[in-house]
Amino acid sequence: MNEARIAAKEPAVQTVEPGTYYWCTCGRSQNQPFCDGSHKGTAFEPMAVEINERQQVAWCQCKRTGTPPFCDGSHQHL
């Protein structure tokens, strides 16, 4: 498996609190946009993301963004 699965064709927009989040890079997680360990047995690893202040973010779910883990609108071209 060389290419991540498309989990959804829209971002997951959330207000997040400070902390470390693990963004799913494989697209297999049932807990999108976060990792649930479904990547085991693949070449994918979750991406650790440190959020320093409460903010609204748009997590990429199509896994094609050029600005991981955040949406850059790439899903509009799928």
> Would you give the DSSP letter of residue 7?
-
* pLDDT per residue as tens, the chain (78 positions): 589 999 999 999 999 999 999 999 999 999 999 999 999 999 999 999 999 999 999 999 999 999 999 999 999 999
pLDDT at 19: 98
Residue 36: phi, psi to the nearest 5?
Answer: -125, 10
> Would you give the DSSP letter of residue 70?
B
Distance in angstroms (rounded) separating the CA atoms of residues 14 and 63 = 17
Give this prediction's pTM.
Answer: 0.94
Question: 75: helix, coil or strand?
Answer: helix
pLDDT at 2: 81
pLDDT at 55: 98
